[in-house]
Amino acid sequence: MVRAMQLLIQTVIDGLLVGGLYVAISIGFSLAFGILDVVDFAVGEWVVLGGFAGVAAHTWLGIDPIVFLPAVFVIFALIGSLVAPLIYRVRTSRYARPALMALAFTFGIAMLARGTMLTTVGFDPRTVQTSLVGGTLTIGGVHMPWLRLAGFLFAIVTTALFMGFLFFTRTGLAVRAAAQNKRNAGLMGIDVKRLSTIVYAIYAGLTAMAGVLIGAIYTFTAQVGPQYSLLAFFVVVMAGLGSIGGVLVAGLFLGMLQALVTVYVGADYTLAIVFGVLFVVLLVSPQGVLRRGLAA
């Protein structure tokens, strides 16, 4: 009985720790959706690219990937700021269906990224090696690897910084305004194009940094991008597209759900159950758990 309780607590804590990383992946993604009005299908590829950047830092430069995190942010923010204007251009073009085209465009970017990684690195599994964080913290029989704690801490700090940026700076105010109504924001003198570039750049950098940490915790290959995209989608759909607060709840919930399913049902069924939950959420409350997202 005690053992069963302990297993449950351990599982829930494992799930919460992982859920923190899902929050880190999804928060920028959600905001990028809010301002660009495009679901970025490349989100999982940013994670994997970040992971490879971590591997490269260790093997080529001999720098510990954790130290390298700020550089990863800068590199991917730069890449993101090159991609964002293209998405913006497609999204605001006068094609027949710009929303659809922009969706397909990010899908193409994701394929380009995945194909390039597969061609250059191949199918071999990798892990990000770090020597800075190791060992396990044990409290009352519940084990928490320091690495996962660090990941969780990273998620909390970045989320807090991001929230600070959104709610306490003028640019953040502009971002929130543009996410609500681009036309009106434009009339108020907000440069929506510049703003969406900034947001997308931050999002790409943030996601890639989360990718380094995920790569340190889990083994990854060049192929796993779509899986992380799926998780990010789950989080933002459950949160309600565009809702920032919902991301916190949904990300932690997803981590817990996944851990519980893996322990009590079997790892083979995680996607099926995640999909089932997603389905019910879409059916019952398409605006997300906090009912703040945009649905129709």
Partner 1 sequence: MTSRTAKPGRPAALVVLPLIVLALVFGTLPMWTDDYWIRVWTGVAMWAGLAASWNIIGGYAGYISFGHVAFFGIGAYATAILMQPGYDWNFFLTLPVGAVIAGLFALIVGWPTLRLRGAYFAIATWALAEALAQIINTLDFTGGSFGLSTPGNPSTWFFYYAMLIATILIYLLTFLLFERSRFGYKVKAVRDNEAAAQSLGINTTAVKLQAFMLSAALPAVLGGINAYWITFINPQSVLSGEVTDQMVVMTLIGGLGHLWGPALGAFVLYLASTWLGAEYGGSTSYIAMIGALLAIIILFLPDGLIGLAPRARGMKLVRKMLGLSGAPGGGGAGTAPPGGRP
Q: How far apart, in whole angstroms, are the C-alpha atoms of residue 149 and residue 21?
A: 10
Nearer to partner 1, 80 or 151 (CB): 80
Q: Cα–Cα distance between 173 and 166 in angstroms, integer?
A: 6
Neighbours of 235 (CB within 10 A): 28
CB of 195 to partner 1, least distance (A): 20
What is the nearest approach in angstroms of partner 1 to the Cβ of residue 284? 9
CB nearer partner 1, residue 153 or residue 294:
294
Shortest reach from residue 33's CB to partner 1, in Å: 8
Half-sphere exposure of 86 (CA within 13 A, CB side): 12
| Contact by Cβ (8 Å): 138, 144 | yes
Distances (CA, A) of 60 to 54, 55, 131, 222, 227: 10, 8, 16, 18, 27
Closest CB 245 distance from partner 1, rounded Å: 19
Of the pair 65, 255, the CB lying nearest partner 1 is at 255
CB of 55 to partner 1, least distance (A): 18
| Residues lying near partner 1 in the complex (CB under 8 A) | 33, 38-39, 41, 86, 89-90, 93, 95-97, 99-101, 103-105, 107-116, 118-119, 122, 226-227, 230, 233-234, 237, 241, 266, 268-272, 274-275, 278-279, 282-283, 286, 294-296
Q: Which of 6, 7, 8, 25 is nearest to 162 (CA)?
A: 25
Q: Interior CA angle at 149 toward 145 and 151, to 5°? A: 115
